[in-house]
Amino acid sequence: MKTQFEKLEEARKFVVEKIEEFPKFLIVLGSGLANILNELEVETEISYSDIPHLAQTTVEGHVSRLVVGRLGGTRVACMQGRLHFYEGLKMDEVVFPFRVFALAGAQVFFLTNAAGGLHPSMKPADLVLIKDHLNLMGTNPLVGKNIAELGPRFPDMTHLYDPELRKIVRDTSKQLKIELGEGVYVGLHGPSYETPAEIKMYTLLGGDVVGMSTVPEAIALHHMGKRIVAISCVTNLAAGVSPTPLEHAEVLETAKKVQSKFCLLVKESVKSMEKVL
């Protein structure tokens, strides 16, 4: 039986054969945020199903493919669709594609997600720069025997969300006059939405937005020494904050409305980040 690292290496070799020089930047397109691909001068597309050992996503709004091209002059890779723990996958399967693309050559990971807002002052289509997270998924992608080739047994998490990259995004948002909040992301197992009592607890713990992704890959990538920046698009107010029931269709619809300013912010931020690599 192949070890996890052997599987990662097999997948990496497949990817670098298809993409000889893997981009330094990888952008993860959260639910409903794939419009950024319209701005991309596409070079190559790879279906996740073609990559050895990579599981397939089952979530609406998540097309399973990697797209490589130029975004505003900067060469990037875009993950259209990600895997989630609630799909019944193991945690090492959830972070597998991120580890593969990191091994292939990606250095900066720009993570995005659709999230619920935990404060009444928030409104759908708000953008929130993630400064930290609360891992409430009940597990960790580093559980089990450490893969020494990837990183240390006990990685420090103090600056998981890169301070320098966050400053670039903040400065870019000001230049573009795009309103950008900053807060703590609460990562949950899912797939059920949260109860009002749970939402109250998360706010008491210091959370600002809540979702079912981002945390596993952020931990796994930081373990590998990669640089991470992340933005949440508030697509709905969480249970108890909004009087209306929560629906996934609402998430996708709100994400569509914010795509133009989101795309502009990401494109210009990546252009500035290229100067500090």
The domain total for the chain is: 1
Residue-range definition of the domain harbouring residue 207: 4-276
Q: What's the confidence (pLDDT) of residue 256?
A: 65
Catalytic residue list contains 114: yes
Q: How many CB atoms lie within 10 A of CB 123?
A: 12
Catalytic residue list contains 236: yes
Q: What's the confidence (pLDDT) of residue 258?
A: 74
Question: Choosing from 11, 34, 55, 62, which is the catalytic residue?
Answer: 62
CATH value at residue 15: 3.40.50.1580
Answer for the pair 54, 4: CB distance below 8 angstroms, yes or no.
Answer: no
Copy the structure tokens of residue 257: 């409305």
Q: What's the confidence (pLDDT) of residue 38?
A: 86
Q: What's the confidence (pLDDT) of residue 244?
A: 61
Catalytic residue list contains 86: yes
pLDDT-based confidence at residue 239 (cuts at 50, 70, 90): low
Residue range 11-27, pLDDT digits in tens: 999 999 999 899 999 99
Q: What's the confidence (pLDDT) of residue 133?
A: 98
Q: What's the confidence (pLDDT) of residue 255?
A: 60
Question: Choosing from 55, 64, 84, 230, which is the catalytic residue?
Answer: 84
pLDDT more than 90, % of the chain? 74
Distance CA 78, CA 40 (A): 9
The predicted model gives 253-258 an average pLDDT of 65
Catalytic residue list contains 212: yes
Partners of 181 in beta bridges: 128
Residue range 32-70, pLDDT digits in tens: 567 788 889 999 999 999 999 998 776 665 578 999 999
pLDDT-based confidence at residue 75 (cuts at 50, 70, 90): very high
Catalytic residue list contains 87: yes
Copy the structure tokens of residue 102: 């990191």
Question: Choosing from 9, 10, 39, 86, which is the catalytic residue?
Answer: 86
Q: Which residues contact 237 (CB under 8 A, 6 or more apart)?
A: 116, 117, 120, 122, 123, 124
Q: Which residues contact 87 (CB under 8 A, 6 or more apart)?
A: 55, 57, 58, 59
Q: What's the confidence (pLDDT) of residue 30?
A: 75
Q: Which residues contact 85 (CB under 8 A, 6 or more apart)?
A: 91, 94, 137, 139, 189, 190, 212, 216
Would you tell me the crossing angle of helices 215-223 and 96-104 to the nearest 10 degrees? Answer: 40
pTM beyond cutoff 0.75: yes
Residue range 174-229, pLDDT digits in tens: 999 999 999 999 999 999 989 999 999 999 999 999 999 999 999 999 999 999 99
